[in-house]
Amino acid sequence: MEHAITIRSGDTNLAATLHYPEEDAGNSSPARQERYPIVIVCHGFVGNRIGVDRLFVKAARELSRHGYMVLRFDYGGCGESTGDYGAGGLDAMIEQTRHAIDYALDIDCVDPQRVILLGHSLGGAVAILTAARDKRVRTLVLWAAVAHPLSDIIKITGRKVYEDAQKNGAADYLGYRFQPAFFESLARHQPYEQLRKFNGDVLLVHGTNDQVIPTDYCFLYQKLFWMRHQGQCDKEVIFQADHTFSTADATGQLLKATKDWLQNIDRRRIEWNDWII
């Protein structure tokens, strides 16, 4: 069951879609309980809640089939949301993500102990930065996550867009208008530094043929996550997958790895609860 909804974030209306778990008596997933875990999808740079080749739609429907609620939304100025994308920089995206969490936790059947942020590309960096500030986030799933926001986004837009914004006060990229403040916000936020503030479990997934965000980021992320005092970090590297996991095989591997890992986390949590005296 899917519902189109609107989430209020300041003066911005965020267009969103909420997926409820499918009712399936034969589903033995540990996630099938009175309250459901919720996966909140954070899309990438100038993206939307549908995703390239409907990636986020496919992910949401797959996870909902296995007992998860899923909330996917458009950041301000993207997709069907109101606002001007990039106007508030990464700070605005973090705030909008937190408002999405607010909305999710107002739903009676959502388990507040199982809030999962799933971030792709720049959305991965936003997910990390949000989790570092907001203790309601318990789990992170990061697909081809950005690690150096400023340099990674300049690589995507081209340096001329960045230089034009600095020189003229704004620059156009694919119809989006970016001001210097947007690039300044990218420079201020460093996911590698902030990730230590998050103590939950993390799954990293990256493709070996990613020409946008280097696969090496996945390995360094895992090393830094493992240096924390709490929380585990696992990774899945998908051979020949590109930045958006665009082939049917890559998408299948991505969704299976994500679903299996989340179910293992749930199973482990239940097993540990059984040991509590």
The share of the chain scoring above pLDDT 90, in percent, equals 89
Q: Give the domains, in start order, of the chain with CATH numbers.
A: 2-148+190-269 (3.40.50.1820)
Strand order in the sheet with 36-42: 2-9, 12-19, 69-73, 36-42, 110-120, 139-143, 201-207, 233-238
Burial label for 23, CB within 10 Å (0-12, 13-18, 19+), is: exposed
Tokens of 98: 């937190």
pLDDT at 23: 66
The better pLDDT of the pair 17, 32 is held by 17
Tokens of 143: 């697909």
- Average pLDDT rounded to a whole number, residues 198-217: 97
- Average pLDDT rounded to a whole number, residues 31-55: 90
The rounded radius of gyration (Å) of the Cα atoms in the chain is 18
Residue 7 one-letter amino acid = I
The better pLDDT of the pair 115, 273 is held by 115
pLDDT at 266: 87
- Kindly give the interhelix angle for 55-65 and 248-275, rounded to the nearest 10 degrees: 40
In tens, the pLDDT along 127-167 reads 999 999 999 999 999 999 999 999 999 999 999 999 999 99
pLDDT at 268: 84
pLDDT at 67: 93
- Average pLDDT rounded to a whole number, residues 79-102: 96
pLDDT reading at 42 higher than 50:
yes
pLDDT at 103: 97
The share of the chain scoring above pLDDT 70, in percent, equals 94
Mean pLDDT of the chain: 93
